[in-house]
Structure 1
Amino acid sequence: MTPLDEIHLTALRLTTHIGVPDDERAGSQVLVADVVLRVASRFEAMNDDIAATIDYAAVAARLQALAAERPRRLIETLAAEMAACVLGEFKAAGVSIELRKHILPDTQHVAVSLVRESEQKP
């Protein structure tokens, strides 16, 4: 099987209220996400038509809005919701997400990652 072509959103900043303790969730935090969108058709088959690809600006704005919608306890929850959003609302054949939180002292960040594929066949 030929690997699918990809669009990368690197270091997307997401403002949200997240954390297990109530006081951590009370204030907003900025998480950072790397999002890889796998497209259903090869780039050359798109014939330079924006309608044939994934609007990455729309994906970025939607994920930022999703993160801001409501408080969550776990970054795992937000990562899973982000993947479901990309697969459900955009034409992605698959998505990979790494979501980073800058919370623990003596670490650069804590991260979760996931890979999901669309159940829709291109």
Structure 2
Amino acid sequence: MTASTPLPLSNYAVRLRGLRVPCHVGVPSAERDRLQDLIVALDVEHPGELYPRLDDLEVATDYGALAQIVMASAKERSFVLLETFALLVAERVTARFPRAERVRVAVTKAVVPLEPKTEEATVEIVLCGSSS
């Protein structure tokens, strides 16, 4: 029996789930006047050659930095649309990690002022680029 050649590392991803950030968001101005929690899910996918094989944070995707991008974006201003907030976060993530191949941001509003009663509203966007 011969030893098999290990499969090459094709890509890797960092995923954050359940990141709660207070934000002024909503279509009616009265809704934007009060802070409400948004729940953010964020995925950053990289080519395999960017995997931090030496256990070095300097070359890794720092999920603390990702969380700070989300928090800073939420504090910066108010938003009418969840879509606007999601795109701002995604663009800032791609600026900070320009070799990312794919960035996915899902933003959920847990309290939705709609009739009939709605448990949550989620907007999801995906930005795709190349690793070159």
Q: Which of 96, 114, 118 does residue 125 from structure 2 map onto? A: 114
Structure 1, gaps ≥5 residues long:
none
Contact 1:94–1:117 under 8 Å retained in 2: yes
Length-normalised TM-score, structure 1:
0.86
Question: 2:108 corresponds to which residue?
Answer: 100
Q: 1:40 to 1:11 in 2, by over 3 A?
A: same
- Residue identity over aligned pairs, in percent, reads 28
Higher CA-based Rg? 2
- Any stretches of 5+ residues in structure 2 without a counterpart? 1-8
Range that drifts further, 20-29 or 40-49: 40-49
Distance verdict in 2 for CA 1:45–1:60, change over 3 Å: closer
Aligned residue pairs total 120
**Quick one: structure 1 residues 77 and 47, their matched pair in 2 at CA, closer, same or farther if it must change by over 3 Å?**
same
Superimposed CA distance per residue, residues 35-70 of structure 1 (whole angstroms, 9 cap, x where no aligned partner): 011123357653212112111111101211111110
1:51 aligns with 2:62: no
* 2:88 counterpart residue number: 81
The answer (yes or no) to whether the contact 1:86–1:95 under 8 Å persists in 2 is yes
Moved over 6 A (4+): none
Contact 1:5 1:42 in 2 (8 A): no
- For 1:62 and 1:24, locate their aligned partners in 2 and report how far apart those are by CA, in whole Å: 24
RMSD of aligned alpha carbons? 2.0
